Chain A
Amino acid sequence: MASIRFESVRKVFGKVVAADDVTLEIKDGEFMVLLGPSGCGKTTLLRCLAGLERVDGGRVFIGEREVTDLAPRDRKIAMVFQSYAVFPHLTVFDNIAFGLKMQDRPRDEIKRRVAESARLLELADFLERYPAQLSGGQRQRVAVARAIVMQAAVLLMDEPLSNLDALLRLQMRAELKRLHQEIKATTIYVTHDQVEALSLGDRIAVMQNGRIVQCDAPMQLYDFPANKFVGGFIGTPPMNFLPGVVRVSDAKPVAVVGEAQIAPSAAFAPALALKNGQPILLGIRPENLVLTSSPQPNTIRARVLVVEPLGSHKLLTVQVGAEIAKVSVTPDERVAPNDDVWLRFDPEKIRWMDASTGETIR
């Protein structure tokens, strides 16, 4: 059993609060992705779990065992460092074998397991080389191989594929996923790549300023962002946000956005009805906007600024009142810059957010 539990973990560097009261539970065998902007505390959280950073408050558990004050090597964790930390004085083979050697494993077992990991990460041809003789991406793969060869119950990976080319990354992503299904190590995986996060994670935890703002299954996170930050961070391009004001007449709320009136779906109507006269944000993903050429109910007038054909779809940049929004349409949609169009909102797909706090209204 190697579930992981952070209980109100806090880590402060001078004035920077790198982990601010983080509480997170990761189930045995789960693949948890940490996602968040640079400097939000992802690496710090991993280091607190690995014991490389002493927490300033709170407790850390692996399984049922509290590890808060345990030395790193007693935590039975394998980790891919963001900086790789591949030993320059050891060959690729000795780097990958390092952890096994420290455990005094038999020689042929070490050989077999190193060969296996090296094959997986396509390093078999480089085993005799020194890290300085490798490219950045190859060195990064050595760091990954060194961690996975341990078959530890807990595997931490800090942006392990960040330095690989697109094709290799795609391939390694699939390998890591297969490996995880095989070994079932409880994994925390830090990445900036949303596709990686969505494809690998059983759940994704989104961090901001040292806090976890939302932790959910990928599609849940995508469809129901907890606040404006998550909606604006997840998705390429991210969610559009249009400001409006709630107006209630005959107990029926509508959002007035510019000249248009958008009615909420039945599920959100009661919540919105309580906010008469208050400003509100209307969040919608680019693929949930539909172009029409004439005004209809629940539509907004917009002007097309840019058309970007992207193969599988066309990405439009449009101006709605004073706001800029992105719209994703099918490749055969006939549209050109400076066209006037109407955007139709699917009420089911609109996420309503409090304009002052950015929190999603549920």
Chain B
Amino acid sequence: MRFKLESALPFGLLFPSVAFLALLILAPIGQAFLLAFQTETGEFALAAFQRMASDTAFNEAVRNTFLLLLTIVPLQIVLALAMALLIHARLRGQTLFLYVFAIPMAISDLAAGLVWLSIFTERGYLNSILQSLGWIQQPLLLLSYQNPQGIFAAVVVAESWRATAIVMVILVAGLQMIPRDFFEAAELFGAGTLKRTWYVVLPLLRPSLQTALIIRTLFAFQTFAVVFALAGRTLPVLAGEAYTWYYSNRNPAVAAAMAFLILLLSLLATVVYLRVLQVREEERAR
């Protein structure tokens, strides 16, 4: 009896999360798959994908998504690492740092986009401040469609503000798992802050960096609300195009194809990270 219970227990414990995943993730994926690959008559075809790729905004959306990813992810990793190391240094007031740094995590991405919109817009906070300081005469049109670099920069700032905290939390947790001895030994044997970070902290932090990179990159492929709030469709991105296909163009099939493309890219990125940042068995602390 006891034996039976024990062997059934793991499955019992797994059941809720499996059911949850099946209902809310797997089922929609299946549905999206059918939507993307099935024509109205029920045959399997790549028509939706062809339609998606032939759209004028598509190439731009792909380019923008990757540009944003390549700008934001490294920026966030560096920022988050600096913040995590600052907290880990156990300076006075470190908990305050942690709370302040973590505030953006509590804000939804659309709200974050709107916050930054109110800052960057023509009559926003930024322009008011600059004008009252007398640094500019005319308000800067940062978010104008004639100023794509301005929009891009605003999105980068807003996205970094919004999603750096999650990376930081992962890295802080990772740092706390590393025994202090290693840092002490490094310092004692003559490594200054930079060398210590490069030769000891980063290598030992690799598992956490891997997690953070995967999460951040997946988020970056899904970047949508912040861009939408700040730029509308002036700066098309993949997730935004999926939304447009669904609601504006009323074409669920192409929207699903788009979602499938994002899923594929995410999987690919995850595999790359897992490979490149792999921590070999023998390098693990025992």
A positions within 8 Å CB-CB of B? 50-52, 71-73, 77-79, 81, 83, 85, 87-89, 98-99, 101-103, 129-133, 146, 150
Contacts and interface: CB of A to CB of B under 8 A. Distances in A.
Given A131-B286, A132-B282, A132-B283, A73 B182 contact: no
B187 interface: yes
B185 A89 contact: no
Interface string B178-201: 010110111111111001000110
Q: Closest 6 CB pairs between A and B?
A: A85-B181, A99-B189, A102-B190, A88-B285, A85-B185, A130-B282
Contacts of B204: 87-89
Contacts of B4: none
Given A52-B184, A102-B191, A132-B286, 7 more contacts: A52-B187, A81-B185, A83-B179, A87-B186, A88-B283, A88-B284, A98-B191
B281 interface: yes
B139 interface: no
A166 to B, nearest CB: 24
B108 to A, nearest CB: 38
A85 B181 CA distance: 5
Contact of A87 (B188, B200, B281): B200
A132 B282 CA distance: 6
Interface string B221-261: 00000000000000000000000000000000000000000
8 contacts: A52-B187, A72-B184, A79-B185, A87-B185, A88-B283, A98-B189, A98-B199, A133-B282
Contact of B189 (A71, A129, A133, A150): A150
Contact of B187 (A72, A101, A103, A150): A72
B184 to A, nearest CB: 5
Nearest to A98: B189
Contacts of B283: 88-89, 130, 132
B286 A88 contact: yes
B148 interface: no
A131 B181 CA distance: 15
Contacts of B182: 85, 87
Interface of B: 179, 181-182, 184-192, 195, 199-200, 203-204, 206, 281-286
B281 A103 contact: no
Nearest to B286: A132
Nearest to B192: A73
A173 B49 CA distance: 74
A110 to B, nearest CB: 13
A83 B191 contact: no
Contacts of A78: 188-189
A77 B187 CA distance: 11
Contacts of B286: 88, 131-132
Given A87-B200, A88-B204, A77 B285 contact: no
B188 A77 contact: yes
A132 B281 contact: yes
B231 to A, nearest CB: 43
Nearest to B183: A85
Nearest to A86: B185
B277 to A, nearest CB: 12
B203 A83 contact: no
Contact of A52 (B188, B190, B199, B281): B188
B185 A103 contact: no
Contacts of B189: 73, 78, 98-99, 102, 146, 150
Contacts of A150: 189
Contacts of A99: 189-190
A73 B188 contact: yes
Contact of A103 (B181, B184, B186, B190): B190
Contact of B188 (A79, A83, A88, A130): A79
Contact of A71 (B187, B195, B281): B187
B279 to A, nearest CB: 8
A87 B203 CA distance: 10
A209 B203 CA distance: 39
Nearest to A51: B188
Contacts of A73: 187-192
A129 B280 CA distance: 13
A326 B242 CA distance: 88
Nearest to A147: B189
Nearest to B280: A130
A132 B191 CA distance: 23
A5 B186 CA distance: 25
Contacts of B282: 129-130, 132-133
Contacts of A85: 179, 181-182, 184-185
A193 B284 CA distance: 32
Nearest to B178: A88
A53 B179 CA distance: 16
A131 B191 CA distance: 20
A236 B252 CA distance: 85
